[in-house]
Amino acid sequence: MAMRAILLLVLWCGTARAELATLRPFAVVDDSVVRLGDLFEGAGPRATAALGPAPAPGARQVVEAAQLLGIARAHGIVWRPMSANERVVIERPGRAVSAAEVVALLRTALRHGGLEEESDLELAGFTPPMVPQAAFAQLAVEGAALDLTAGRFGATLVVGAEGMPTHRLRVAGRVVATVPMLVAARRMAVGEVVGANDVRMVRVPASRLRPGAAQRAEQVVGQAMRRPAGAEQPLLLADVSAPLAVERGAVVTMIYEVPGMQLTAQGRAMEGAARGAAVAVMNLASRTVVEAVVVAPGRVRVGGGR
């Protein structure tokens, strides 16, 4: 009898140790439901038992000690809280549906109502809806309405994804007229000549267009930078000028035209100048300074017009 009692005690202790579980203070749930194994480490074969819905994507919930004790007892888990402050924080990762995705859908829906292609849409008080991190979001727009007179729009956004219920939210905002604006496609230094690939066109709200901003590529392409520009920086007409055909201090050929003949001499430019611009040049032979007009790179004409 004594040996049998000892054997039963050993078997009972082994079972108790097998059933003993520890709390997971923090759980990340990717499923649409919370399971027993999300709360307790060592829940055994009952770990997959569903307890209830998981938090919404991107949200969290807290399970307090008293509720945890009730769950443990209901599922035969050997666990007792060490204090009333024990809890499990359950978090469900989520991905925010971007405003750009929503605006793209709205543009398509509102185009039938007369929305101009070059207009922009600004969402008012938009809170991005969340979907499960790995899920494919299914978005749709219902009841899109456009008031061109007031420049306002409204619609119902339908958001669905696997692992979450479909829900609808109201979105609204205003229609904004946009205008073209040129920005630098790369960093450019002073003196660089702007090429066609050095700029790109963007559209901005008319109220954000800077005074004097270039709006057409031909306004800056072929011009030289008077100030440095960073990538994506708006280009102002004041930032560019005709490229220098004559550099300051450069030796140039001076062309003198007199009736019946043309004479040349060497001179030094006192300043930089673009083609067609006036420039002061010092004749290297006579050391006199005269005014000339730049007619080509390294060539200036003295008197007689251009």
Dig out the tokens for 80 from the structure: 């007792």
pLDDT computed for residue 1 by the predictor = 40
Q: Which CATH code for domain 244-302?
A: 2.30.30.760
pLDDT computed for residue 117 by the predictor = 85
Percent of the chain whose pLDDT exceeds 70? 93
Residues 171 and 275: their CA atoms lie apart, in Å, by 56
- Token look-up 């097998």 returns 18
Question: Can you tell me whether residue 228 is helix, strand or coil?
Answer: coil
pLDDT at 2 over 90: no
Considering the entire predicted model, what is its pTM? 0.58
Q: Which CATH code for domain 179-241?
A: 3.90.1210.10
Neighbours of 98 (CB within 10 A): 11
**Tens digit of pLDDT for each residue in 173-184?**
999 988 999 999
pLDDT band at 153 (very low <50, low <70, confident <90, very high): very high
From the number of C-beta atoms within 10 Å of its C-beta (0-12, 13-18, 19+), residue 62 rates as: exposed
Residues 71 and 277: their CA atoms lie apart, in Å, by 89
Report, as an integer, the average pLDDT of 72-83. 92
pLDDT at 169 over 90: yes
Residues 274 and 306: their CA atoms lie apart, in Å, by 13
Return the H-helix or E-strand segment holding 40.
strand 40-41
pLDDT at 158 over 90: yes
Return the H-helix or E-strand segment holding 145.
strand 138-147
Cα-to-chain-centroid distance, residue 306: 52
Domain boundaries, the chain: 19-92, 104-177, 179-241, 244-302
Is beta strand 278-283 parallel, antiparallel or unpaired with respect to 261-269?
A: antiparallel
Cβ partners under 8 Å of residue 34, min gap 6: 27, 50, 51, 52, 53, 54, 90
Q: How far apart are the first and last CA of the chain?
A: 128
Average pLDDT in the chain: 88
Dig out the tokens for 192 from the structure: 């660089």
